[in-house]
Amino acid sequence: MNSLWVKLFNKKVGQDHFGNEYFLGKNTNYLGKPKRFVLYKGSDQSSKVPAMWHAWLHYLADELPTDTVKNRYDWQQEHKPNLTGTKHAYSPAESEHSSEVYSKWSPK
């Protein structure tokens, strides 16, 4: 129901490469600025919002982000959502580094 309200009464301003849609509201927030919304594609997980859109949503940037996928560097990795609580979450026991032995430091 909330997504229907956002789509009907707000202006769509963009979409990221994950399929999330971003909207600019007609009402203002406590700062007097128009409210900004995101409708997630798939599960509602805030870690799916790219950094530039996050800055726009939180009023850290006034300009709408451009398509940053085209301007990627070789060292940049593809975004991965937060995997906590899934079977793909990090587990120290199953880590490839778990066989390393650490010794406690004791001063002389």
Q: Which of 7, 99, 3, 16 is nearest to 65 (CA)?
A: 16
Tens digit of each residue's pLDDT (9 = 90 or more) over 26-36: 888 888 999 99
Q: How far apart are CA 2 and CA 42, in angstroms?
A: 15
pLDDT at 23 over 90: yes
49-97 tens-digit pLDDT: 888 899 999 999 889 987 655 667 788 777 777 888 888 888 877 777 6
Whether residue 40 has pLDDT greater than 60? yes
Alpha-carbon gap, residue 108 to 94, rounded angstroms: 35
pLDDT tens profile 95-104: 776 555 667 7
Buried b (16+ CB within 10 A) or exposed e, 69-78: eeeeeeeeee
87: its two tokens: 């079977």
pLDDT of residue 71: 67
The reported pLDDT for the residue numbered 97 is: 64
Residue 69 confidence (pLDDT): 56
Per DSSP, 93 falls in state G
Report how far apart the first and last C-alpha atoms of the chain are (Å, whole number).
Answer: 67
